[in-house]
């Protein structure tokens, strides 16, 4: 019995994608999708269905071509003789491949794949930015409606015709002079339970509104002021590392645990200067332990890179600023950088400074 084979149309129907998408899978991963029968229509071997389904899921998870290739190596067999389908077809027709044609075709395919990935990433970032703006608008609208409802409720309560005014205060004793009439708006210090007037801790000024309705004089408002302990901030306040920390040589660790620095032992400050986009916002620093600092760089709308530095000493006794970790934040998603990605970023900086 002949083995099951699939055309592009068969695979597109089974996977719920277009034929063009299936063809792009084959152009990106030819070694995993060899041809079972040449001609029209081209038929792929029976394992192509599982391979294409895996490629579709990997791209849906946001993996790049290189990362997807690594995952495919773990699950499927690769046929190296099928990596260059165009070259094989030309050899069958003329006997010898056309010089340079394979290299040019690979370069064009790789450039096309990279441009598609960049466009998809830009679209995803823009969509996340729009979603965040819509959520902010919805929150503001909800808060505005709640405030308007509260104000209307207070206004209706103040205009009630059958509202009974409070009884008048008893007259002061004859031996004491009557106090002067209080103005409509007064500010009086109000003691807070548990706090003395000389409390040295951080406090905030609070106001409590007391509305009193008189039958003839109309509405009169008074305010009482007091102090309460300042609440703890939800996030650490931005700070600035010392100059000696910024002047430390910037280094990373290699795969073998060796310290790698920039040309000439250039500093942490110089590294951030290269990584900061032109006309971009300055770096924002946060303390991260006794010997560490976290730095955030704004790379674009809703895109931030975080670098965590630690002051440490090399085996030779040199004080350096070591990059312990790197994260990229896009909207609400956070991606932890691998050691390979950190080394690649450091290599680009070395090439720029070299």
Residue range 74-86, pLDDT digits in tens: 999 888 755 444 4
- Comparing C-alpha atoms, which of 266, 234, 229 is closest to residue 250? 266
Confidence of residue 159 (pLDDT cuts 50, 70, 90): confident
- State residue 96's pLDDT score: 45
191: which residues sit within 8 A by CB, 6+ positions away? Answer: 197, 226
- Asked if 271 and 259 count as a contact pair (C-beta separation under 8 A), the reply is no
Confidence of residue 322 (pLDDT cuts 50, 70, 90): very high
Kindly report whether the global pTM for this prediction surpasses the value 0.85.
no
Q: Which residue has the higher pLDDT, 236 or 211?
A: 236
Residue 216 scores a pLDDT above 90: no
Q: What is the 3-state secondary structure (H, E, C) of 89-124?
A: HHHHHHCCCCCCHHHHHHHHHHHHHHHHHHHHHHHH
Cα separation, 54 vs 133, in Å, equals: 34
- State residue 203's pLDDT score: 65
pLDDT tens digit sequence for 37-50? 877 888 998 899 99
Residue 274 scores a pLDDT above 50: yes
Outline where the chain has alpha helix (H).
8-15, 19-28, 48-60, 65-75, 85-94, 101-158, 243-246, 268-275, 339-353
pLDDT tens digit sequence for 127-147? 888 888 888 888 888 888 888
- State residue 93's pLDDT score: 40
Q: Which of 106-110, 176-180, 185-189 has the highest mean pLDDT?
A: 106-110
* Rounded to 5°, angle at Cα 244 from 241 and 246: 55
Other C-beta atoms lying within 10 Å of the C-beta of residue 240: 11
Q: Which residues pair with 252 in a beta bridge?
A: 260
Cα separation, 268 vs 320, in Å, equals: 9
Measured in residues, the chain has a length of 354
Helix (H, G, I), strand (E, B) or coil at 206: strand
Instruction: Work out the average pLDDT over 105-125.
Output: 74
Domain locations in the chain as residue ranges? 8-93, 109-160, 184-190+202-229, 243-353
245 CA to centre of own chain: 26
- CA–CA distance from 61 to each of 114, 251, 335, 352 (Å)? 17, 32, 13, 32
- The secondary structure of 41-83 as a DSSP string is S-EE-TTHHHHHHHHHHHHHTT--HHHHHHHHHHHS---GGGS
- State residue 179's pLDDT score: 52
Residue 295 scores a pLDDT above 50: yes
Pick the CATH number of 8-93 from 1.10.1660, 3.40.50, 1.10.10, 3.30.530: 1.10.1660
Cα separation, 86 vs 80, in Å, equals: 14
Confidence of residue 167 (pLDDT cuts 50, 70, 90): low
With tokens 């599982």, the residue in question is 50
Residue 247 scores a pLDDT above 80: yes
- State residue 131's pLDDT score: 86
- State residue 11's pLDDT score: 94
- Asked if 323 and 252 count as a contact pair (C-beta separation under 8 A), the reply is yes
- Asked if 224 and 211 count as a contact pair (C-beta separation under 8 A), the reply is no
Q: Which residue has the higher pLDDT, 350 or 190?
A: 350
- CA–CA distance from 210 to each of 152, 186, 213, 221 (Å)? 17, 11, 10, 6
Residue 218 scores a pLDDT above 70: no
- State residue 235's pLDDT score: 56
């Amino acid at each position: 019995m002949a083995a099951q084979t699939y055309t592009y149309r068969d695979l597109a129907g089974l996977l719920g994608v277009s034929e063009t998408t299936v063809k792009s899978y084959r152009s990106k991963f030819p070694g995993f999708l060899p041809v079972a029968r040449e001609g029209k229509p081209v038929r792929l071997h029976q394992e192509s269905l599982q391979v294409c389904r895996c490629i579709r899921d990997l791209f849906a998870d946001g993996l790049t071509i290189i990362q997807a290739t690594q995952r495919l190596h773990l699950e499927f067999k690769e046929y190296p003789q099928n990596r260059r389908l165009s070259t094989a077809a030309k050899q069958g027709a003329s006997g010898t491949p056309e010089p340079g044609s394979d290299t040019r075709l690979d370069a064009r395919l790789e450039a096309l794949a990279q441009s598609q990935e960049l466009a998809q990433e830009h679209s995803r970032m823009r969509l996340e930015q729009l979603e965040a703006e819509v959520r902010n608008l919805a929150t503001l609208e909800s808060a505005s409606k709640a405030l308007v409802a509260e104000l209307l409720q207070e206004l209706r309560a103040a205009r009630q015709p059958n509202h009974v005014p409070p009884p008048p205060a008893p007259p002061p004793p004859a031996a004491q002079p009557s106090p002067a009439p209080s103005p409509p708006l007064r500010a009086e210090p109000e003691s807070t339970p548990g706090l003395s007037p000389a409390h040295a801790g951080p406090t905030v000024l609070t106001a409590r509104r007391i509305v009193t309705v008189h039958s003839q004089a109309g509405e009169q408002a008074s305010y009482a002021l007091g102090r309460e302990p300042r609440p703890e901030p939800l996030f650490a306040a931005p700070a600035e590392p010392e100059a000696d920390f910024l002047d430390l040589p910037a280094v990373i660790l290699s795969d073998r645990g060796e310290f790698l620095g920039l040309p000439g032992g250039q500093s942490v400050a110089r590294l951030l200067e290269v990584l900061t986009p032109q006309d971009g916002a300055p770096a924002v620093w946060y303390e991260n332990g006794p010997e560490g600092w976290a730095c955030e760089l704004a790379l674009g709308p809703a895109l931030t890179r975080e670098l965590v530095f630690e002051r440490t000493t090399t085996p030779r006794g040199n004080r350096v600023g070591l990059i312990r970790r790197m994260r990229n934040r896009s909207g609400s998603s956070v991606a932890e950088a691998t050691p390979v990605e950190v080394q690649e970023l450091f290599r680009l900086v070395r090439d720029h400074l070299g």
